[in-house]
Amino acid sequence: MKIPTILLICCLVFSGCKSENNGKDPAMRNITAMELAQLMGKGWNLGNTLEAVGGETSWGNPRVTPELIKAVKDAGFTSIRIPVSWSVHISDPETHQIDKAWMQRVGQVVNYVLANDMFAIINIHWDNGWMNDPRESRKEAINQKLSAIWTQIATYFKDYDDRLLFAGSNEVHMENDWSSNPPAEYLSVQNSFNQTFVNAVRATGGANLKRHLVIQSYLTNIELAYTSLIIPADPTPDRLMIEVHYYDPYEFALKPDQPYDTQWGSVATGPVTPWGQEDWVEKEFEKMKQKFTGKGIPVILGEYGALYRPDLTGQSLEDHKRCRAYYLGYITDAAIRYGMVPFYWDNGAPDFVLFNRTSYQIIHPDVLQAIMNFQQ
């Protein structure tokens, strides 16, 4: 190992111990959320890691290292979304006090990202599903816990510059109910979570008065963002972003068990899902332009991806790989065309992996090429 690398690691380790030691100018630039989004480029998810409810390595990935983040930067990504679990690291259930060592570890990983001059987004991810009960009867209790957690997170990071963004939640929905047509009650309660998040962060002061914040639609669903998302009141104008996710069509992108579809789009030489092709992408992303990006409100495409099907062989596998790379390139390109910031979902597992978390090698160069240099 070269001496400069050793020095970098040492600096990052010590900088992760206290938020005020991150060595960054705490001043926020006087730019809007849309202007910041235009600087964020293409993003990557550090999935199935800090959000693993059994601990950082409990879902099969190793501890995050500076070398991994450097590899992601070298591949061309300029932003990293860091899903995080918090409730399992609470030492006092009455006050929702977060364990100090865990807060420092999250800070250390954030510092790895900032040391590479990248943007970082941290959130409250699934977190054992404690937010997934958007009923009026649970609204007050969930909002109290949400406020307590975000107050602590925001306080710890309040001196960080605007390359660090906070995202209030993830795919909030009624647990085990993935319907895209939820009751109005669920939508209303989920909207209240966004307002609580904004209020809690702004109340901590410091750089958080102007920090760029990311709010979610119910289920991070595009249609529900278009029809039902209420943008929270914010004392600081033009500092909010919207987050949605995209895994359409399900039969190609997410369905784990056969029968599933292995090809997609105009490059397919075999059957494709009857819906969810290129025209669907354009239609869905156009909604985000009409509702948000065309009005100066940026949209984060916080997750997108498609399962890799290693059970295929021969020509079937080659056709699948070609269509999968085309799909991921198309989604990335379309997101940018419609003013969104795309974040590829990499969970470190064979189905979505892009970077080997130990060797830092790129597992699917064709996918990376499509994401970075899509040509239709």
Active-site option among 171, 243, 278, 282: 171
What pairs with residue 245 in β-bridges?
303
Does the active-site annotation cover 67? Answer: no
Does the active-site annotation cover 286? Answer: no
3-state SS of the chain is CCHHHHHHHHHHHHHCCCHHHCCCCCCCCCCCHHHHHHHHCCEEECCCCCCCCCCCCCCCCCCCCHHHHHHHHHCCCCEEEECCCCHHHEEECCCCEECHHHHHHHHHHHHHHHHCCCEEEEECCCHHHCCCCCCHHHHHHHHHHHHHHHHHHHHHCCCCCCCEEEECCCCCCCCCCCCCCCCHHHHHHHHHHHHHHHHHHHHCCHHHHCCCEEEECHHHCHHHHHHHCCCCCCCCCCCEEEEEEECCCHHHHCCCCCCCCCCCCCCCCCCCCCCCCHHHHHHHHHHHHHHCHHHCCCEEEEEECCCCCCCCCHHHHHHHHHHHHHHHHHHHHHHHHCCEEEEECCCCCCCCCCECCCCCCECCHHHHHHHHCCCC
Place of tokens 């998302």: 229
Active-site option among 56, 243, 284, 303: 303
Enumerate the active-site residues: 171, 303
